[in-house]
A and B are shown apart, each in its own frame.
Chain A
Amino acid sequence: MSRYIIRRTLIAIPTLIAISFVIFIILDLAPNDPTGSLPLTVPGDVREAIREALGLNDPFFFRWLKWMRQMFINEPLNFIESVFNISIGAGEDRVRIVSWSSRSPVVDTIIQRIPQTLWVLGTAFILGVIIAVPVGVISAYKQYSAFDNIGTFVTMVGYSVPTFFTGLLAIIIFSVWLGWFPSFYDTTLEVNSWETFVQQVKQMIMPVAVLALFNAAALSRFTRSSMLDNLNEDYVRTARSKGISENRVLTRHVLRNSLIPVVTLIALQIPGIFAGAIITEQIFRVNGLGQLLIISIQGGDVPMVQTLTFIFAVLIVFFNLIADVTYGLLDPRIRYD
């Protein structure tokens, strides 16, 4: 197993480098322009000077290697320095990846956005898991019963209706008509009292509900089908004929086996916390990482898009590995070597 992990990690490194190269090429070739949103009164030669100053006209490989160095060496060093309060080398001279639109370091901006991303998307994810697994298990156990049929219908709807549609409807119904919840997310709200906590919950409810419904629907379908696969296995019939109580059959045998692929699916969905809700973030003005990505793409801010997409890629590769390792640990039939 440890050899497997090491091997996968070693393969992941060239994969990531290749991915960064592909992302860089595509972004580089894209015809967007960071001077596009300047007022028209800014003349062309000034725009050209700005593009020059941003480094747009440097040769391609040079720019990629510069970014690689900043991403893999400079940024982690800065991170270590700030976390442990130590000084490694000439900290101030280290060139950081700087956003073209805000002229401030990309990593700082990303870190600024993590709180609201985790609050809203993380909560939606956890809520989704909490709802999905029991629903899926019970649906499978009582297949074709009323619970299953209703559950199937609700999850199908939750899975099929696009989140931007439900988001829009939610705002109109709950903010405009009923006036229960605010229509936007206030990132400056500090939770330090009961009132502010209530306020935080109120501004979180709609985006979390919309996202949790979608997450729960997908996961519960999967849980249900995994349970069904196992409920029809021969060993279940054997266990029942041996006289084991239904409860034990379920908890000791079926559940444990069914949840293995579910756990791996959950691990695979974790990267989606960070990038998975772009449109919902726009609609509710949550200003998380997804919204940052869209703004940067539309504004032609290549360093930001590059760094963000690369971070997402790293998360995906990392959690793929975790999912596979977990699967290997939990399922004795799987042997990696």
Chain B
Amino acid sequence: MKTTKWLALFGALALVLAACSPSDDDATATTADGSTTETTADAGTPDTTEAPDSGMSAGEGGLVTIFQWQAPSIVNPFLSGGTKDLLASSLVLEPLAEYDPSGQLVPALAAEIPTVANGGVSEDLTQLTWTLKDGVVWSDGSPFTADDVVFTYEYCTQTTSCTQSSFFDGITSVVADDATHVTITFDAPTPFPYNAFTTYQSSILHKTQFEGCVGDELAPTCTEENTNPHGTGPFVVDEFLVNDTVTYVMNPNYRGIADGYPFFGSALIKGGGDATDTLRSVLELDEGDYSWNAQVTPEVVAQMEAAGFGTVQAGFASLVERIMVNQTDPNPDLGDQRSEPGNPHPFLTDPAVWQALSMAIDRQALVDVGYGPSGRPTCNIWPGAPYASPNNDACLTQDIAGANALLEEAGYVDSDGDGIREDPDTGDPLFLLYQTSTNTTRQLNQDLIKANWAEIGIDVELRNIDSGVFFGGDQASPDTYQAFYADVEMYANESGSPDPQNYMSGLGTTGQIVSPANNFGGSNIARFDSAEFDALAAELATTGDLDKRIELVIAMNDLIVQNGAMIPLIYRGSASGLGVDIAGVGDINGWDSEFWNIEIWTRTG
């Protein structure tokens, strides 16, 4: 209804629009080298103050409708409950810099990305100075200054319930040198210092608005601020219905208005339903323009796309669906000692077994059944360029015969003819408890993998746990993925930033092994224990040279994958449905907010 109305009104303009649409080429910077410590600033869009005049007037595009089946509950990223809230806040708030779809850091509220080369980062890698853009104002008209940046740091670090506090790890101080310069000091040399104040998880808050909201007592009481924050982004919140809809109108003080950005004068995020319903609304019924998180089976997607109103596109970042292989023994008889280092697993530490498990899986079938174009089979924990290892691709072809041979040779034979192999040391049949979160696609994958493993003589029991519990991290619960009271578990994880250091180190260093020693708080879920890996991680933490870093990451990846701690399955992209008449989106952004460039989105005739 609404679409046709606007199409009718701007039919004539459509010709002009087609002739001079905004600089899409700059918007999709496709430099693949993803340089980190040497990022340059001119990959820069949608830095709209430097983009050419769009030839339109801001706000003339009308309404853009976004379906987010997980509805937003709050617009403050620091108190957010998940990506759904971060997305809602990213239309209003901005960080100092954000990632484009290829993983490159581009400035948003900063004037440029500080590097050692341009003097923004000190030689000893312990200090970083951001230069802020001039003349930016908040939506209420007051100027944006370095004080707001400093205040954001204080807000999150002084509120224990701040969900993004890990972004400020390792920082000793954040100081405003003057109105447009902020200096961050780290406690140790940090080759990749760009975690704080970047991405939609760490946007800048307005100091004068949020001053009275710091601390655990006050932060939740600031309902007005949390649902209608002042921002520097293209939109401001007009109406907020919790867990239902958010309506936005154009920010009258947005810096891009003079150049005609944003094209859309208002926005709506509508929540509710499930992935299939919302995707159908966009692709088949043309009731909206964007459908976030389109986790729908491929054949249904294909059928919906046939209607011609839209397509599903995927942005690949670092999300990998993998099977974690428990290197410790989860046997309930061990009581409190279950799944703890010191009790090695009876047979999953044997290379023959986990290699056979990996060889037997038909990864392409998993993708075909569950993911379609938004998934690719993978054998690496970090499959994205430039850190992808070329050494493991043999696993992409399913090899049942080879797996069987491997197990036979290693002594795991089926002595009693029941189709299940036995462990030669204990005589017990090879039985795996395979758990994952409750999710249709995951259950389908479980069924397929169980069938694969049955072909090599392994008995499997499937179990699924409610997502809230599985991912909740409650230390008292036996059902979290960290507790890992199972033999194998499947889930997906990704890095918070395009720099793999924190992520890869967390996966495999002994210090991160989940155990009572660190209050079950580590990220080494598989309980992988390797001195070589620890050495590589330590070296990575102090290496600044990009090529060397790539080498180290590849070595770490190979070590983990070739020693059975994890079986990578699918390289998953963020899939979203997009209406055919929406231009300017470029690639779907898997590293940052999918709405990172919403101000340059337009509607074509």
Contact = CB atoms under 8 A, between A and B. Distances in A.
Given A53-B216, A103-B74, A282-B273, A31 B226 contact: no
Contacts of A37: 70, 81-82, 84, 467-468, 471
B277 A184 contact: yes
Interface size class of A (residues with CB under 8 A): 35 or more
A104 B226 CA distance: 8
Contacts of B80: 38
Interface in B153-185: 159-166
A184 B281 contact: yes
A42 B82 CA distance: 10
A188 B247 contact: yes
B469 A103 contact: no
24 contacts: A33-B468, A34-B472, A36-B470, A37-B82, A37-B84, A37-B468, A38-B81, A38-B163, A49-B165, A99-B242, A103-B76, A113-B244, A176-B285, A183-B280, A183-B287, A184-B281, A184-B287, A199-B1, A282-B272, A283-B277, A287-B272, A295-B243, A298-B466, A300-B468
Given A184-B270, A184-B287, A40 B243 contact: no
4 nearest A-B pairs in the assembled complex, by CB-CB distance: A33-B472, A36-B468, A53-B161, A44-B521
B223 A103 contact: yes
Given A38-B163, A46-B163, A175 B285 contact: yes
B567 interface: no
Contacts of B270: 184, 186-187, 285
A176 B309 CA distance: 13
Given A43-B521, A300-B472, A112 B241 contact: yes
B473 A112 contact: no
B309 to A, nearest CB: 12
Nearest to A98: B220
Q: Which of B165, B220, B243 has the most CB of A within 10 A?
A: B243
Interface residues of B, number: 68
B496 interface: yes
A103 B240 CA distance: 13
B482 interface: yes
Interface in B484-525: 493-496, 519-523
B519 A45 contact: yes
A337 to B, nearest CB: 47
Contacts of B520: 44
A102 B71 CA distance: 11
Interface in A11-45: 31-45
Contact of B163 (A42, A113, A175, A182): A42
Contacts of A35: 472-474
Given A54-B161, A103-B219, A187-B244, A47 B280 contact: no
Interface in A92-142: 98-99, 101-105, 108-109, 112-113
Given A44-B473, A104-B74, A285-B277, A50 B163 contact: yes
Contacts of B82: 37-39
A218 interface: no
Interface string A288-332: 000110010011100000000000000000000000000000000
B601 to A, nearest CB: 20
Contacts of A41: 166, 494-496
Contacts of B226: 103-104
Interface of B: 1, 70-71, 73-74, 76, 79-84, 159-166, 216, 219-221, 223, 226-227, 239, 241-245, 247, 268, 270-274, 277, 280-281, 284-285, 287, 466-475, 477, 479, 482, 493-496, 519-523
A170 B114 CA distance: 57
A51 interface: yes
Nearest to B271: A287
A52 interface: yes
A38 B165 CA distance: 13
Contacts of A292: 243
Nearest to A185: B272
Interface in A176-231: 176, 179, 182-184, 186-188, 199
A246 interface: no
A50 B284 contact: no
B81 A299 contact: yes
Contact of A287 (B162, B165, B243): B243
A48 interface: yes
Nearest to A96: B221
B228 to A, nearest CB: 11
B469 A33 contact: yes
Contacts of A101: 73-74, 81, 243
Contacts of B163: 38, 42, 46, 50
Interface in A150-188: 175-176, 179, 182-184, 186-188
Nearest to B74: A102
A44 B472 contact: no
A36 B521 contact: no
B471 A102 contact: no
A285 B273 contact: yes
Given A31-B466, A42-B163, A103-B226, 18 more contacts: A32-B466, A33-B468, A38-B82, A41-B166, A42-B166, A44-B475, A44-B521, A48-B521, A49-B161, A52-B160, A98-B221, A103-B79, A109-B243, A183-B281, A184-B270, A199-B1, A292-B243, A298-B466
Q: Which of B161, B223, B280 has the most CB of A within 10 A?
A: B161
Contacts of A54: 161
Contacts of B273: 184, 282-283, 285
B272 A184 contact: yes
Contacts of B247: 188
Contacts of B83: 39
A301 B160 CA distance: 19
B277 A105 contact: no
Nearest to A172: B280
Nearest to A44: B521
B285 A32 contact: no
B242 to A, nearest CB: 4
Contacts of B470: 36
